Chain A
Amino acid sequence: MRFPGNLSQNRPFLRNYLLFTFVLTGLHFSLLFFRYELTFLQALADGIISVVLLNFMLLSLSFVVRYARNKTVDSLLSIRNSLLAGLLIVIAWLFLSVFILQTLFYNHPFYLDFLVLSRELRFAAGLFVAGWVYLAFFLSVYQQSVKESVERENELRTLVEKTELQALKNQLNPHFIYNSLNSISSLTVYSPEKARVMLGNLSDFLRIALRKDAMHIITLREELENIELYLKIEKVRFEDKLQWEIQNSTEFHSFQIPALILQPLFENAVKHGVQQSSTQGIIRLTCEKSGNDLLLILSNSYDEQFQRFKGEGVGMENVRNRMRLIYGKTALLKIEAQKGVFSCYLTVPQKVNT
């Protein structure tokens, strides 16, 4: 798992932290040397050991802060945990630093007395520094995670825009339109009535297909109406060769589905199961519930003697991309070619309680 705002990779922050440690050491030294009149060596050793050790130990607070920001833990709880961690670090630091300094200056009685007397003051100063460090960590991580989420959002937006453009270009296969128009041209001679009906269907379908919104969500009922329109148009071209069955859909009519997400799948089935087949081809759509989600299974038979599965075409890829963009999940579309039957399994996540 990747943490946002990883401080060890944030170089400006580390530089500032080092500078802060340096200045603090200087202050500590000056205070002891000028105000409390310790020897130069004592003041220097005390300054370096106390401050550097404290700031080093406080670095571990950054893990606590990062963890708290990452997990969706109760924020009050996470603040309490951070404070507790800070307190423990300061106590540990106090014992450790005093012990080291006592060991170093075991033969300086005046300094040893000073050390014991200043314990409370050291503790208070340690807590004070820990508070500031905690705040700095918190702000830095917060700022970074905000920056990262803005970046992520921008990335997503450009991806959506790009896909929308592609959707417009790819989803509607121009050959489908050309072939349909050719059929209409033929029907005007032999059956003007049918030509008029088909022109109406084609216009309705184009109006839906040329919508720009790749994220548009409709109900399964509306989607099946769109598909019906598409199949009726293709039926004029392929006549009795094209048959379809939609099973078990009524109980899922109110389920949500991206508009025209099924069309490329049906188009693929028409191409391989009907157009490229020399016999009648039946396209079957079955609706099922899978957990809270809607599972749609589309299958068609194909002639293995003449066709082999050659990997996903543009239409399939487009469906996959749209599903990933809309639901933020991969693997919502699964395909399978086995024993002359091609099947697509499309899982459509449903929002709960809305």
Chain B
Amino acid sequence: MEDKIKVIIIDDEAPARRLIANYLASSKDMEIIGECMDGFEGVKKINELKPDLIFLDIQMPKINGVEMLELLDAESLPLTIFTTAYDEYAVKSFEYNTCDYLLKPINEARFEKAINKARAQLQSPHISAAGKQGIRTLLEEGISDNHLDRLVIRSGNHIQVVHCNDLICLEANDDYVIVHTAKDQWLKKQTLKYYEKKLSPQNFLRVHRSFIINLSEVTRIEPYSKDAWIAIMKNGLKVAVSKAGYARLKEAMNF
């Protein structure tokens, strides 16, 4: 009994959760240890119960499934089977070899295949490691090609959603990015390069090795030294601008 595979189902729709539970009933080696209705609950339960496998819906209240995965610590990242009616993430998901991607309505035979794959990954540590690495790469690369419209950040037990319009600037800090808003600063484990790619280029610009700024928050730009400038943001924050950054800024803001 000790060796049962611990499963959490995360989906906001009760019938969808019941269907997965029903499909799992015939697999005696699986045990459902929790069900969650949104991403917040998901983060909490996963950190608390450390499941081996999760079934994860993408479209959910508060934060979506992908944002939820971003918030998990690397070591508590479980094997993930996505369950959604949207096929737009399927291709990337397969590309990065995540555990599996089930399209709703879920076909039972296809479901069996997915859990067999999960069993195999869980029995073999190196396949499992590959699967987890797949998820991590997926999260680093971004699951969708759309531009971000919000950032989801966890600090301790608190989860914060920052809308991109509210961003002042992003600052690189080792493995983290410091997210500056008018009122607060948050730490997010992510690279600046990722945000350079994922934020809308109409509003955001990399002006320095360590900074991306929100163009609509700039009040003025002052020379600092030869080949260095400073952008002064609406909240008074001063941001370093490199020579290349200044050239890009000039082009983007037409001055």
List A residues at the B interface (Cβ < 8 Å).
174-175, 178-179, 181-187, 189-190, 236-239, 275-278, 303, 305-306, 308, 310
Residue of A nearest to B86 (CB): A175
Asked whether A239 lies within 8 Å of B14 as measured between CB atoms, the reply is: yes
Q: Is B15 an interface residue (CB 8 A)?
A: yes
Known: A179-B13, A238-B13. A189 touches B18 (CB 8 A): yes
Interchain CA distance A297-B163 in the complex, whole Å:
28
Within 8 A of A (CB), among B96-135: 103-106
Q: Is B59 an interface residue (CB 8 A)?
A: yes
Asked whether B61 lies within 8 Å of A175 as measured between CB atoms, the reply is: no
Asked whether B16 lies within 8 Å of A275 as measured between CB atoms, the reply is: no
Q: Is B243 an interface residue (CB 8 A)?
A: no
What are the interface flags for B55-68 relative to A under an 8 Å C-beta threshold, 1 for contact and 0 otherwise? 00001011100000
Q: Is B222 an interface residue (CB 8 A)?
A: no
What are the interface flags for B31-56 relative to A under an 8 Å C-beta threshold, 1 for contact and 0 otherwise? 00000011010000000000000000
On chain A, the residues within 8 Å of B16 by CB distance are 179, 182-183, 186, 237
Asked whether A237 lies within 8 Å of B104 as measured between CB atoms, the reply is: no
Residue of B nearest to A181 (CB): B105
A-B contact pairs, 17 of them (CB 8 A): A175-B86, A178-B85, A178-B104, A178-B105, A179-B13, A179-B16, A179-B85, A183-B16, A186-B15, A186-B18, A186-B19, A189-B22, A237-B16, A238-B13, A275-B61, A276-B62, A303-B62
Q: How far is the CB of A184 from chain B (nearest CB, A)?
A: 8
Q: How far is the CB of B19 from chain A (nearest CB, A)?
A: 4
Which among B18, B59, B85, B165 has the greatest number of chain A C-beta atoms within 10 A?
A: B85
What are the interface flags for B132-163 relative to A under an 8 Å C-beta threshold, 1 for contact and 0 otherwise? 00000000000000000110000000000101
Interchain CA distance A237-B59 in the complex, whole Å:
13
Instruction: Report, nearest first, the 9 A-B pairs whose CB atoms are least far apart.
Output: A186-B19, A178-B85, A186-B15, A182-B105, A182-B104, A181-B105, A183-B15, A175-B85, A278-B61
Asked whether A182 lies within 8 Å of B85 as measured between CB atoms, the reply is: yes
Residue of A nearest to B83 (CB): A182
Q: Is B12 an interface residue (CB 8 A)?
A: yes
On chain B, the residues within 8 Å of A310 by CB distance are 149
Interchain CA distance A239-B163 in the complex, whole Å:
29
Q: How far is the CB of A96 from chain B (nearest CB, A)?
A: 59
List B residues at the A interface (Cβ < 8 Å).
12-16, 18-19, 22, 37-38, 40, 59, 61-63, 85-86, 103-106, 149-150, 161, 163, 165
Q: How far is the CB of B199 from chain A (nearest CB, A)?
A: 15
Asked whether B13 lies within 8 Å of A185 as measured between CB atoms, the reply is: no
On chain B, the residues within 8 Å of A306 by CB distance are 61-63, 150, 161
Interchain CA distance A161-B14 in the complex, whole Å:
41
Which among B14, B15, B59, B103 has the greatest number of chain A C-beta atoms within 10 A?
A: B15
Q: How far is the CB of A352 from chain B (nearest CB, A)?
A: 45
Asked whether A308 lies within 8 Å of B106 as measured between CB atoms, the reply is: no
Interchain CA distance A236-B165 in the complex, whole Å:
36
Asked whether A178 lies within 8 Å of B19 as measured between CB atoms, the reply is: no
Residue of B nearest to A178 (CB): B85
One of A185, A277, A303 near B19 (C-beta < 8 A): A185
Q: How far is the CB of B84 from chain A (nearest CB, A)?
A: 9
Known: A178-B85, A182-B105. A187 touches B62 (CB 8 A): no
Which among A239, A275, A306 has the greatest number of chain B C-beta atoms within 10 A?
A: A306
Which among A182, A275, A277, A308 has the greatest number of chain B C-beta atoms within 10 A?
A: A182
Interchain CA distance A278-B36 in the complex, whole Å:
12
On chain A, the residues within 8 Å of B63 by CB distance are 306
Q: How far is the CB of A261 from chain B (nearest CB, A)?
A: 24
On chain A, the residues within 8 Å of B149 by CB distance are 308, 310
One of A185, A189, A305 near B161 (C-beta < 8 A): A305
On chain B, the residues within 8 Å of A275 by CB distance are 12, 59, 61
Interchain CA distance A187-B165 in the complex, whole Å:
42
Interchain CA distance A178-B13 in the complex, whole Å:
13
Residue of A nearest to B40 (CB): A278
Residue of A nearest to B108 (CB): A185
On chain B, the residues within 8 Å of A182 by CB distance are 15-16, 19, 85, 104-106
Residue of B nearest to A241 (CB): B12
Asked whether B15 lies within 8 Å of A236 as measured between CB atoms, the reply is: yes
